[in-house]
Structure 1
C-alpha cells in the first residue's frame, strides 16, 4: 500500500512521507484512534445520544473504528449549480446514486441537502449515516451574492434519520455575525436532539486575496476560523487544505489595522511545510479534540487521485482525522469514483503513514 501511495505522490513522496514536524509536537495532539469517542468526547458535555451519533460516524465504512473519517459531500447542486456540478455525470441528478456512491465507496457518511437525503431516506438512512447540510449559498439571484441561508430545520433532519447536521459559515464576511448566531443556535438544537455537528469553516472576504496570493487558504486565518467553529461546539471541522500563511500580516495596514496575531505563529508554531500548516489548523481545533477533515477540492481530471492522496497524506501526518471529497468522486463513473474514495481511505488504513 505504501508503495502505491509513494508512486502517486511522485517527486513529493520523500518530503511528505518522511517529514518530522518541529513546530507543535504530535504529543500535544489528541490523535485519532479506535477509542477516539471514548477517550475524547465522553469527557465533554455531549449527551449520550450525541455520543452514539458520533460513534455511528466513526464506526461505519472502510475506516470504521480507526478514528478517521471519509465523507462524501454532495451539496454542489446548490453551491455550484446542479448543471455545473452534474453535467460531467448526469446520473447524479438522481439522489439515489449519490447515496449509492457513498456506500460503494466505503464512506463513513454521506453529506447532502434536505432534498437529496429526504428523497431516499426511508431506503438508506439505516444503511449509511446521513449528514444533512442545513444552509447553502443560494446561487441564482442576480447579481450573484455570497451568503449562507437556512434551507430547513434541525427537526426535519432528525425526522429523516440523520446522525449529524452540517453547516457553513463564511467567516470574515459582512454576514458572518448573523451566520454565527444562526448556526450556533442550530447546533445547540442538534445536540439536544442527539445529532452530531459538522462545520464548514470557510473564509469569504475580498480583502483576503491580492494579485499574487489567496489568503482564504492561509494557515493563520483558516486556523482562527477553526477556533471560532469549535467555540460554537462543532464536533467536526471541515476546512480547506492550507496553501500559504501570513494572512493577518498581509491584510492589515497602518491605516486599516486588522485582527490580532503573534510573530511566533510564523516562526515557532508553523513552517512553510504543508504538514506543519495543517498541524496549526489541528491545534486550533482544540488540539484535535474536534476532528479536522480537509476538503478534496474541485475535479482536475486525470490527476484527481494523486491530488486526493496528497491531501490525505498531509491531513493525516498533520494530525487531522480525514477527508471530505465530493467532486473528484461524483464527476466520474461510479466505479471510478468509488475507487478514488478508497484510494483516499487507503492512506488512513496504511500503518506506514504516521503522524509527523
Structure 2
C-alpha cells in the first residue's frame, strides 16, 4: 500500500506511537472513498444505547440489525464503523475484514440524567474483535469529568501499548458554567478539543461550534486578540488550531437528523476550515438506505474537495 503525501504528513505528527498503532492509523486513513486524502468519514451507531432503540431505529426499521450498519458503512465507502460491544460482536466475523472498526468503551443511557457514562467494553475485547481502536466519551465540565479523565488516561495507555488508536468524544456538559448554548460555544468546543489532545487522543470528536462565547474570561481574550469566529470555517480553523495546531485529527459530529441542505452547508463550512472529517450517525441510518448512501456520497465529495 503506497502512502499518499497527505497520509505521510499526518503520520509524522504521531511521534510517540509504536509501529502497530501507526499501522492501524494508516489502515484507517487509507480505507474507503476518502482513503489517502487525509480526511475521514466514520459511521457511529451507539444511539440505541444512548437514546433507546425506538428513538434511534423506528424511522428506518432495518437499522435495528447491526449487520445493516456494517453493510451501509462498507457500501458507502466510509473510513470506519464505530459501535458498542454487542453491535460489533454481531458482525465481527462477517464484516470485520471489510472495514476498520472502533469499539466504543463507554456509554450513557436516557433512563437518568446523570452526566456520566458506564464502561461497556475493554481494550482486550477490542483486540478480540479485530478493531483498529477504542472510543471513549468524556464530559468536560460535568461533576464526573475528573473520574472520566482518570479512566481515559489508563485506557489510552493500555490501547497504545496494544497498538490501538484512541478516539475521544469530547462533549462539554453539565457544571455551573455550561447551559445548552454553551455546549457548542466556540470557546468551549476549542477547550474540549484541547483537553482530548492533551489526554493523548489520536482522533478527537467535537460538535460543530457556534459563534457563541460562553466563558467570561475567554470572551475577553477572543475580543482582545480579535480571534475571527464570524463563520463556521473560521471557527473550525480555531478548533483545529486548539488541537495542537492541527497535529491531531479532529472530526465533527453530524448531530440530530436535519435537512440535507443544512448538513451539506455544515460540512462545507467544516471542510473549508480544515476539519479532518466527520462522524455522522443518525442523519444516515434514520433515512432510507438509498437516500443515506446518496447523501454520504455527496458528503464524501465535499471532503474530497
**TM-score per shorter chain, which class?**
over 0.9
136, 139, 144: which one aligns with 2:113: 144
Greater relative contact order (CA < 8 Å, ≥ 6 in sequence): 1
**Is the 2:190–2:242 Cα contact (8 Å) retained in structure 1?**
yes
Distance, in Å, in 2 between the alignment partners of 1:158 and 1:308 is 34
Q: 1:229 to 1:72 in 2, by over 3 A?
A: same
CA deviation map 1:191-215 (0-9, x unaligned): 11111111111010164455xx701
1:165 corresponds to: 134
Question: Deviation per CA, 1:264-319, whole angstroms, max 9, x where unpaired?
Answer: 4334223322211111111111111111111011113xx2x222211211111111
Rate the CA distance shift 1:244–1:207 in 2: closer, same or farther, 3 A.
Answer: farther
Q: Is the 8 A contact 2:196 2:204 kept in 1?
A: yes
CA spacing shift, 1:104–1:40, aligned 2, 3 Å: closer
Matched, 1:263 2:234: no
Q: Determine helix, strand or coil for the equivalent of 2:215.
A: helix
Distance 1:273 1:131 in 2: 32
Task: Output the CA distance in 2 between the equivalents of 1:230 and 1:206.
Answer: 21
Shift of 1:332: 1.4
Q: Which residue is equivalent to 1:12?
A: none
Answering whether residue 26 of structure 2 is matched by residue 55 of structure 1, we say: yes
Find the counterpart in structure 2 of residue 277 from structure 1: 235
Find 1:308's aligned residue among 232, 247, 263. 263
Instruction: Indicate the residue corresponding to 1:25 in structure 2.
Output: none
Residue in structure 2 matched with residue 232 of structure 1 by the alignment: 199
How many corresponding residue pairs?
A: 301
Secondary structure (helix, strand or coil) at the match of 2:152 reads helix
CA distance in 2, matches of 1:276, 1:263: 18
Map of 2:255 onto structure 1: 297
The answer as to 2:6 corresponding to 1:39 is no
SS in 1 for 2:171: strand
Work out whether 1:243 is the aligned partner of 2:193: no
CA distance in 2, matches of 1:158, 1:313: 35
| Mapped pair 1:223 → 2:190 | yes
For the residues of structure 1 that align with 2:44 and 2:161, how far apart are their CA atoms?
A: 24
Aligned alpha-carbon RMSD (Å): 1.7
Q: Deviations over 1:73-117 (max 9, x none)?
A: 111011111111011011111100010110111100011111101
Q: Is the 8 A contact 1:138 1:147 kept in 2?
A: no
How far apart, CA to CA, are the structure 2 residues paired with 1:285 and 1:185?
21
1:183 matched to which residue of 2?
152
Q: CA deviation at 1:39?
A: 2.0
Structure 1 residue 139, shift from structure 2 partner: 2.8
Asked if the contact 1:241–1:295 (Cα under 8 Å) also holds between the matched residues in 2, the reply is yes
Task: Determine if contact 2:284/2:292 at 8 Å carries over to the other structure.
Answer: yes
- Please show how residues 99-138 of structure 1 align to structure 2 within 5 Å: 99-138=70-109
Q: Which residue of 1 aligns with 2:181?
A: 214
Gaps of 5+ in 1: 1-32, 250-259, 351-356
**Displacement of 1:262:** 6.8
Structure 2 stretches lacking a partner, 5+ long: none
2:296 match = 341
Higher-Rg structure is: 1
Counterparts of 1:309-324 in structure 2, within 5 Å, are: 309-324=264-279
- Residues 307-316 or 103-112, more deviating: 307-316
CA distance in 1, matches of 2:229, 2:206: 19
